[in-house]
Amino acid sequence: MFALSNLQGMAFRKQSRIKILILLFTTICIITSFSSCKKGTRTTPPTANLKQEKVVSKPSVPEADASGFCILTDSIPDVILEIRYFSTYNFVGKRVDGYEEPIALITKEAASALRKVNNELKRKGYRLKIYDTYRPQCAVDHFMRWAKVFDDTLTKSIFYPDLTKKQIFDRGFVATKSSHTRGSTVDLTLVDAQSGKEVDMGGVFDYFGQSSHTDFAGVTAQQHSNRMLLHDAMVRHGFEPIKGEWWHFTLSNEPYPDTYFTFAVKRSAIHPNQ
């Protein structure tokens, strides 16, 4: 009887030790798991997430620094210039602030891409006519002041006959910032090299309305073809269009995507010693 009791006691103590070991092991696992969570243990290889988290940013430059720009005609001597904001033939009706000379300034990268467009279209019998390229921030500010003077409707019949100035602002035709101010946007059209006449695009530059949309259905088949000739050449050489303006293109890989420059449109901004 004593032997049987002794065996039962030993068995009980063995079971107790096993239960304690199991409990201790479970506790260690829980503590380890909690500690891992606190340390942010990854379940995927670190390199996989590092690749996703990598942010590539281009260095910022001072807003008054024109060292990355050139005069467009130095790069493409045979372009035709009609810098509208130097003249009074624009939606403001007067020369726009910041346009001190009738020249086109543009980033060197955009000029290089535009030269390829020029070479392609020249072989097809066309020349490029430039309405606007770099636009200083003070010019954009001038547009904003103009948009707020509701009784100034001098150019309404030409550029916005179906809209009020408030609608021009609300629909984004005029805004506080412009891609032009970053230096790699160009407004342009085509000229027939033989006749010297502008190609018929079915609408005028800076017209605020539906007919300025690249895919506007109201133009003729020939006018649409002309728009697409310009559009396709620009896209082929690295520019992005916007749907609302058939004449407007921005270099896809623009060098200064976050900088809105302030220097005036004048030769001395590029060649200060001349």
Neighbours of 210 (CB within 10 A): 12
Structure tokens belonging to residue 127? 């020349």
Is 198 part of the annotated catalytic residue set?
no
Residues 74, 51: contact at Cβ < 8 Å? no
Q: Cα 102–106–108 angle (5° rounding)?
A: 140
Q: Please name the amino acid found at residue 51.
A: K
What is the C-alpha separation between 209 and 27, in angstroms, rounded?
Answer: 72
E strand intervals along the chain: 69-71, 80-81, 105-107, 126-132, 185-192, 239-242, 245-251
- The four Cα atoms 147, 149, 153, 156 give a dihedral, to 10 degrees, of 10
106 secondary structure, DSSP code: E
Place of tokens 């629909």: 171
What is the C-alpha separation between 67 and 63, in angstroms, rounded?
Answer: 11
Q: Please name the amino acid found at residue 142.
A: H
Residues 165, 150: contact at Cβ < 8 Å? yes
Structure tokens belonging to residue 114? 């535009």
Q: Which of 82, 109, 245, 254 is catalytic?
A: 245
Active site (catalytic) residues: 245
